[in-house]
Structure 1
């Protein structure tokens, strides 16, 4: 029964995503709502960018219906126990509120373009909802030799982490299948971790999100533009997905028995699936700052651009980054069992640094040969 109650919503999310996306394609082509073509973009044909419209409504509807059915019919005592825990319920309520805020802002940006300052403001307000609801990073599990955190500091750290993750997911959405693939892997992994720890409602959210991304991934990667079967997710999708994975990562990292039992290394494991986009956006920001360039101006300095310049195909670059994210997830999950959090993060940084320098060397060598 436990598995069925999780698998049915997952399959339903796939079915709804598969049913909704063709209608979005039909409307976007009729109204000519295409992603603009410029020197930074990789596509050279008109492609709609409102695929993210399918995500948030599907997530909220299936989550709400699943919990109502499970609660009213008493189908599973584990679910009922979590739903009736007042420490958990407000967290999911504000997640829904934040999703609606970011969904509206994303649609506005995809249709008429919104200045990044307004998007940033909405992201901060949505992130503030987490600590207000009782969801905040309250323990670093020895990271930087810190254990428990006071509320005010944990709340600030939570808001910072949430905004960082939202923008990391948003900025890495520059390659077909990359953003949806990364988030899908992240949700499947975190869903598995929540399931192992008995956090059934969090597992449900993670796997519903993964489910709705599977049909989108197909249209985004394998859809044919000439047949009007290809679509991008746009900011509507990337911001709401970023908010969801931030919610899941912070929930797993929080030391709260109502969510899961105490686990050493939870803070490292929780954010492992997000290390690639977060490390990449931090690197880009540092490089832009040192070069005295606008921090929020889009360019072609992200990891996927480096992989393409090194000679990889788009699909090859996409699969390499998703594989790298999965590697960090498995490596950290195993490493925290034997090594301290500080050493594990240091090893992650070293591995990331070596990889970045290697690709820089390959790209520079390729430029020299072409000259």
Structure 2
């Protein structure tokens, strides 16, 4: 049983290691050619070192060795993390085809599912707990792969993925503390510490990108801690809580998939129509766009915390308020960018379709 002092030390250790090791990782990235070349789809104008996720991983290892969190699933979780890191490093150096990255994520997810760490049930209001039985395995694999890619897809602006991930993990940490989930508390503490340590070098203007090494690792880690914590929650809406926590990356990913299908493009094909790019196009500065998305993420995280301890009717009220807030934000953003028919034009913009002109 760890004391609060142990968690504080682990946080500081992970943070400090990430801060100190990142410049060395930057030199390594440049030396081996793990760099990001500018092109018309990207905002940065100069060649940038990536591979920064390796610094996050090393920071996490330092905190992990200090706390030594124990779980019956930990061996497979660590193996899965190593697989993800290897895939990320190879992609940052050689730019792997999407199918090979997906295969690596699939293998990591299957390794975790084989440990018995599964999304075995969901709690539905008026119906109670619904056991997934044999569907637990495919649902678990899909969840891990989906969240891993969701964080990867929002990694488009300096400091965005690290910041959004830290906010999501802080929300999970608060709920884990309330439920005394020791393993989740430990993992969140060291992951947040390392992510913030890397953010010192990655916030705008970034000196290094986390690359797929970092984005895939953070996405994988969040998928795991949400399974260890949020899906084990016995609240009325346990299946909705992790979705609310990760609302920004999840819905950005869903819109990206729908957009590409509507435009008859490969769903893995990159584009410049993600939420963060749209905010920049609407006139927000690079830093402001990141801070706006931080704010959205924090609001969703706070809502999830309240949601997890609410009664049925209060939960429904919060859900309605969230939906109204999302529509209100869409109206304002659309009004700023298109002046008229804001909601339909904002939706069309996100979908990559031509906005409706004024009469």
Q: TM exceeds 0.5? A: yes
Which of these residues, 245, 257, 264, is aligned with residue 273 of structure 1? 245
Which of these residues, 136, 142, 156, is aligned with residue 118 of structure 2? 136
Structure 1 residues 295 and 192: alpha-carbon distance in aligned structure 2, compared to 1, 3 A threshold: same
Paired position in structure 1 for 2:350: none
Give the Cα–Cα distance (whole angstroms) in 2 for the partners of residues 310 and 254 of structure 1: 37
Paired position in structure 2 for 1:41: 42
Give the Cα–Cα distance (whole angstroms) in 2 for the partners of residues 129 and 93 of structure 1: 10
Which of these residues, 198, 216, 226, is aligned with residue 239 of structure 1? 216
Structure 1 residues 145 and 307: alpha-carbon distance in aligned structure 2, compared to 1, 3 A threshold: farther
Give the Cα–Cα distance (whole angstroms) in 2 for the partners of residues 201 and 96 of structure 1: 14
Paired position in structure 1 for 2:346: none
Question: What pairs up with 1:133-212 in 2 under 5 angstroms?
Answer: 133-142=115-124, 145=127, 147-212=129-194
Question: What pairs up with 1:262-301 in 2 under 5 angstroms?
Answer: 262-301=234-273
Cα deviation digits, residues 296-352 of structure 1 (max 9, x gap): 111111101111111111111111111111111212332450336677556545543
Is the 1:98–1:127 Cα contact (8 Å) retained in structure 2? yes
Report deviation, 1:359.
2.8
Is the 1:139–1:253 Cα contact (8 Å) retained in structure 2? no
Paired position in structure 1 for 2:296: 324
Question: SS at 1:50's partner residue?
Answer: coil
Give the Cα–Cα distance (whole angstroms) in 2 for the partners of residues 293 and 362 of structure 1: 29
* C-alpha RMSD of the superposition: 2.5
Cα deviation digits, residues 113-135 of structure 1 (max 9, x gap): 11101111111121122332121
TM-score, normalised by the number of residues in structure 2? 0.87
Determine whether 1:116 maps to 2:98: yes
Is the 1:269–1:329 Cα contact (8 Å) retained in structure 2? no
Give the Cα–Cα distance (whole angstroms) in 2 for the partners of residues 175 and 242 of structure 1: 16
Structure 1 residues 291 and 173: alpha-carbon distance in aligned structure 2, compared to 1, 3 A threshold: same
Paired position in structure 2 for 1:64: 65
Report deviation, 1:254.
3.1
Is the 2:87–2:101 Cα contact (8 Å) retained in structure 1? yes
Paired position in structure 2 for 1:218: 200
Is the 1:56–1:99 Cα contact (8 Å) retained in structure 2? no
Determine whether 1:4 maps to 2:8: no
Give the Cα–Cα distance (whole angstroms) in 1 for the partners of residues 228 and 125 of structure 2: 17
Give the Cα–Cα distance (whole angstroms) in 2 for the partners of residues 37 and 266 of structure 1: 42
Give the Cα–Cα distance (whole angstroms) in 1 for the partners of residues 266 and 77 of structure 2: 31
Paired position in structure 2 for 1:74: none
Paired position in structure 2 for 1:363: 337
* Number of positions where the alignment pairs a residue of Structure 1 with one of Structure 2: 340
Structure 1 residues 254 and 356: alpha-carbon distance in aligned structure 2, compared to 1, 3 A threshold: same
Is the 1:190–1:206 Cα contact (8 Å) retained in structure 2? yes
Is the 1:223–1:231 Cα contact (8 Å) retained in structure 2? no
Point out where structure 1 has 5 or more consecutive residues left out of the alignment: 68-78, 225-229, 256-260
